[in-house]
Structure 1
């Protein structure tokens, strides 16, 4: 993925109007001229070397790996104060990959056994690693195949004498209103090179919801559409583009009528955002006086700062696995304690729900990659934690110690059996006893909850509620398991349907069971943050939503203009008739 700017003087702008679809990962509208970042893959020399040249070729590989590692460390140490905070962990992932023995030692083995030159051996091993990541079930882990490709590309450039920098120096005076980056992919280090200029939007061939472009674009509040396929090869410099970050649309060389329409949409969106931020501290209360909790999902501790700024009622989901990923060693108790404590202190007494490690059997935490026969149904989440009691105890001890700094709630992922719940409770008691003996304090009011993401627990929720303080519905997996649809498999992803009557019935009966038991029920999956589903969920009786921080204000606006009793009546009628619900009937 070598990136370069294509010169507009060599290739004139095209005039054909095109409409292309991808995945909208950061909301908003952008209208501007395309800046094309080249994405042609480097031509790798393939030749065999003599036996006596093997040590020299291995040394050449080691030197290139060291150069790239040092370059990445330099970038990390010299990050500007205004750089998106998400860039540091992403750059650390690249540093770990370039120093990973799976890359260096296996490549040297290929050089020695097959007598390939360093470039050929590295690209061979890189492809093997990327293929392994691509097979994994977890979306975040699967998209790390892009990290492997980007690291390999950087090392190949050094081996070829081109240097590790993938981008030329960018002009810092590019206008945010007229420059849209179009690229095959954008690595974290490339983002640093781009920071000097301001851009209206990012559009890439590759990527998904957890790709680097998506993460950084959201942190910068810049519209982005990824996974476009081949837009990089179809768009030319200076083409006029419209980017719709919500619908996942890119319109190339729009007609004056379409351009005028989107200019109005863009102006309206800017006014809407300005108005929403004014009301960020107002309570989320429906027209009939129902108080709704709006909380945020976070992945890294510093994101709690944004959550407080946007006036959220708390953190409904802290995905603790992001503290464990992309590193050579597990975080110890002290590191975890500091991370959890930071979030609890930042939230100033507001509830913080921290999910215990949720990782699948498709990748262990010590870097030994394995592929299960069916990772989605394998040793993952709480099953994985209970199989690694020492690791689980370390996390529980850190959580308990941090609990003195705020209102902690512990969330169990992928619970399906009562014996799992009892085992978790026993593990927590064991950790408490250990800490007490050692003189460590912990809060005595820590609530314990579970994710409802397997149909079995949704169907038989009542006995679980007797032993839990709250539950949180993970709609992403619940829909996937209910409909037997892999939501990231392009062959069947169109069948992934949050509106399926079976899905809505499971959500409804979980909420109703919670009401009868006097236990809180939240939704922390993607449905909670998609404002088109807000009235639907209110009509199902939901009173606690948790979502990406940038979605909070949009959902709050819908809540404040909704009448829950009227919505519940409409939803109940539709569900009783097993109908697909038309969201249009729920509009005010």
Structure 2
């Protein structure tokens, strides 16, 4: 379905980005053009050094106050947002960065130039991180730099924004987003950002419709343009005609009625119209997610990212800290099954744990490779997970597997931990299930062998896509190449599912594709046993499953997997 063609002539322009947070908004555009132009070659005189440092210190003090004020206004149920802003504040107050900036000022650079130089150096380090969350900190650094420059120029671009407007921006920091929420803006559009970016996560948390990665939005859209924003498809209509306006008004009403009806699905069995049962689970990053999963009656948690504990502490946690964290999640979730993914981290993240320097760590010592290279740390995590498993509702999942040897070595370590805990009279689940993430082409291609020594598979479609297509999903310039519907990715997924079922183990999908409304039918038809999505999307995906025919989905998958062109795949999926 080509929406651009269908609505041709009904608006001045029809643009399309990535739908980050669902919803439909009709309103007026406010365009924030806040590009930073800093001449890094501009210098000051010796006698100006003291005043320039003072100017920087004042800007820093004001920025710290801004972050502290934003943090103080965060509601108790928005712990993720609080953690993000606290991490940003730590960057602002980082002594090493401060000393580096002062050093460049003393070398006769302006405060602005010193900031740009130091922040660029930090960005280069983060760009080579193995973890997507850390690579996305590059955008956070850009946003913090922007806020610094604004305070240095004593400007504030958000103060004049009125209620019920649609914000069009190049990018936004979490603190800026909070200010906009206070202003009661109705929707957000940015030129950058990925579906897993902080902005996408936060707009979903606050139920603010958003479109991200809409190229040149701040130049294509003018201030006071009338806008229709479709957060379901990613379409943006500029100055629509009356017919289109009425159509979306009616659509808004239908969606509002539909949301009320979704609550009725909670108690229904999750199966297709022709009685094919489908396991629909939730992903969780914190206790609030676990509680929300229980509210919608999810039977399990398909992915708990344990490295979120590292991000909150900014170090490797102790065994007790890990045990307390895992136990709290398992106890809160009980009797739901909880899938704890082992730390998906790399060697470049912690200075005290640095093993080697890597020019490209995303293809280096990441995930299970890192864990097996740091066996003492890995055993601490395995012990903590085992100790938390006493209610027998925890299963372990291993990240970034590429070989059988990695699984075998991990199982050997696990047995060592079990013996240690037995000797310490600890209670744990002796038969805890161990599964793996299939997120590398290597793992997919040896899935038949891996399925003989694993209890379950989980397809990580985000990483599988970027490794299959050699396209970094955090690189905005490669966004057109990153596509989980690429025939190569789909065929690797099918190969994995077939291998797993041949050896009688279940297959889950826990990546962004699991919650993509256009992918649900395909995943069902391909034979995926379990979909794991954010709690906020659980009922929408469940409704899609209840409305699907397993046999018809199978027929569509057979057709799609024989298709080599993306545009034909889109047509078959009704994209």
8 Å CA contact retained: 2:11, 2:238:
yes
Deviation string for 1:227-253 (max 9, x for gaps)?
223323443443211111122222121
Check 1:417–1:80 CA distance in 2 against 1; reply closer, same or farther (3 A cut). closer
CA contact (8 A) 2:128 2:360 kept: no
Is 1:96–1:327's contact at 8 Å kept on the other side of the alignment? no
Q: Which residue of the partner structure matches residue 373 of structure 2?
A: 387
How far apart, CA to CA, are the structure 2 residues paired with 1:50 and 1:368?
40
Cα 1:327–1:234 shift into 2, 3 Å: farther
Match of 2:23 among 21, 28, 31: 28
Instruction: Find 1:105's aligned residue among 99, 103, 110.
Output: 99
Determine which of 120, 127, 136 is the counterpart of 1:143. 136
State the alpha-carbon separation in 1 of the partners of residues 479 and 110 from structure 2.
Answer: 41
Q: Cα 1:571–1:236, aligned 2, differ >3 Å: closer, same or farther?
A: closer
Structure 2 counterparts to residues 285-296 of structure 1, below 5 A: 285-296=271-282
Match of 1:118 in 2: 111
Q: Distance in 1 between matches of 2:472 and 2:35?
A: 31
The verdict on how the C-alpha distance between 1:369 and 1:227 changes in structure 2, with shifts beyond 3 A counting, is farther
Q: Find the aligned partners of 1:234 and 1:209 in 2 and give their Cα distance.
A: 22
Counterpart of 1:466 in 2: which secondary structure? Answer: coil
Measure, in 2, the Cα distance between the counterparts of 1:169 and 1:24: 27
Count of paired positions: 564
Residues 227 and 459 (structure 1), Cα distance of their counterparts in 2 relative to 1, 3 Å cut: closer
On the 8 A contact 1:453/1:474 being kept in 2, the answer is yes
Residue 452 (structure 2) aligns with: 466
SS of the equivalent of 1:20 reads: strand
The root-mean-square deviation of aligned C-alpha atoms, in Å, is 3.4
Q: Secondary structure at the match of 2:240?
A: coil
After superposition, what is the alpha-carbon deviation per residue over 1:175-218, rounded to whole angstroms, capped at 9, x for unaligned?
xxx43223332222223323334332111233222333211111
2:483 matched to 1:517? Answer: no
- Judging changes above 3 Å, is the alpha-carbon distance between structure 1 residues 193 and 405 closer, same or farther for their aligned structure 2 residues? farther
Contact 2:168–2:190 (Cα < 8 Å) also in 1: yes
Listed as ranges, the matches of 1:467-546 within 5 Å are 467-489=453-475, 493-546=479-532
Q: Aligned partners of 1:74 and 1:493: how far apart in 2?
A: 35
For residues 426-480 of structure 1, the C-alpha deviation after alignment (integer angstroms, 9 at most, x for no partner) is 2223333344444543333321100112222222223322221111111222233
The structural deviation recorded for 1:409 is 0.9
For the structure 1 residues 569 and 80, does the alpha-carbon distance in structure 2 shift closer, same or farther, using more than 3 Å as the test? closer
Q: Which residue of 2 aligns with 1:314?
A: 300
CA gap of 1:67–1:333, structure 2 versus 1, over 3 A, is farther
- Say if 1:572 and 1:182 are closer, same or farther in 2 by CA, change over 3 A: closer
Cα deviation code 1:316-343 (max 9, x no counterpart):
0112222223754333333333332232
Offset, 1:255: 1.4
Q: What corresponds to 1:168 in structure 2? A: 159
Determine if contact 1:473/1:524 at 8 Å carries over to the other structure: yes
Name the structure 2 match of 1:153: 146
What SS class does the counterpart of residue 340 from structure 2 fall into? strand
Partners in 1 of 2:372 and 2:355 — Cα distance?
20
Give the alignment partner of residue 327 of structure 2, picking from 329, 337, 341: 341
Describe the superposition over 1:5-64 as per-residue Cα deviations: whole angstroms up to 9, x where unpaired.
xxxxxxxxxx98222222211122111122444525376797545557757755664565
1:34·1:239 contact (CA, 8 Å) conserved in 2?
yes
The 1:105–1:577 alpha-carbon spacing in structure 2 relative to 1, beyond 3 Å, is closer
2:408 is equivalent to residue 422 of structure 1: yes
Deviation by residue 1:277-303 (Cα, 9 ceiling, x = unmatched): 321232211222222110122333432
Deviates more, 1:123-132 or 1:435-444: 435-444
Q: How big is each residue's C-alpha offset from its partner over 1:554-579, in whole Å with a ceiling of 9 and x where there is no partner?
A: 22122212232443355457757989
Q: Which runs of 5+ in 1 are unaligned?
A: 1-14
Distance 1:548 1:254 in 2: 33
Residues 28 and 574 (structure 1), Cα distance of their counterparts in 2 relative to 1, 3 Å cut: closer
Question: Residues 59, 585 of structure 1: CA spacing in aligned structure 2 closer, same or farther, 3 A cutoff?
Answer: closer
Q: Secondary structure at the match of 2:519?
A: helix
- Cα distance in 2 for partners of 1:273, 1:361 equals 45
- Does the C-alpha gap of structure 1 residues 382 and 334 become closer, same or farther in structure 2, counting only changes over 3 Å? same
Q: Displacement of 1:142 after TM fit?
A: 2.5
CA contact (8 A) 2:193 2:476 kept: no
Distance 1:75 1:479 in 2: 36
Tell me which of 200, 220, 230 is aligned to 2:206.
Answer: 220
| Residue 168 of structure 2 is aligned to residue 182 of structure 1 | yes
Q: 2:3 aligns to what? A: none
Whole-angstrom distance in 1 between the partners of 2:198 and 2:485: 30
Change (3 A) 1:556 1:365: farther
Contact 1:62-1:104 at 8 Å conserved across structures: no
Q: Kindly indicate whether the alpha-carbon contact (under 8 Å) linking 1:344 and 1:406 is maintained by their aligned counterparts in 2.
A: no
- Provide the C-alpha distance between the structure 2 equivalents of 1:98 and 1:576, rounded to a whole number of angstroms: 52
Alpha carbons of structure 1 residues 43 and 413: separation in structure 2 relative to 1, 3 Å: closer
Instruction: Provide the C-alpha distance between the structure 2 equivalents of 1:83 and 1:442, rounded to a whole number of angstroms.
Output: 31
- 2:430 is paired with a residue whose SS is coil
Shift of the alpha carbon at 1:421? 1.0
CA distance in 2, matches of 1:531, 1:356: 28
Which ranges of structure 2 fall in alignment gaps of 5 or more residues? 1-9
CA contact (8 A) 2:270 2:280 kept: yes
CA contact (8 A) 1:296 1:316 kept: yes
The answer for the alignment partner of 1:39 in structure 2 is 34
Shift of residue 373 of structure 1?
4.0
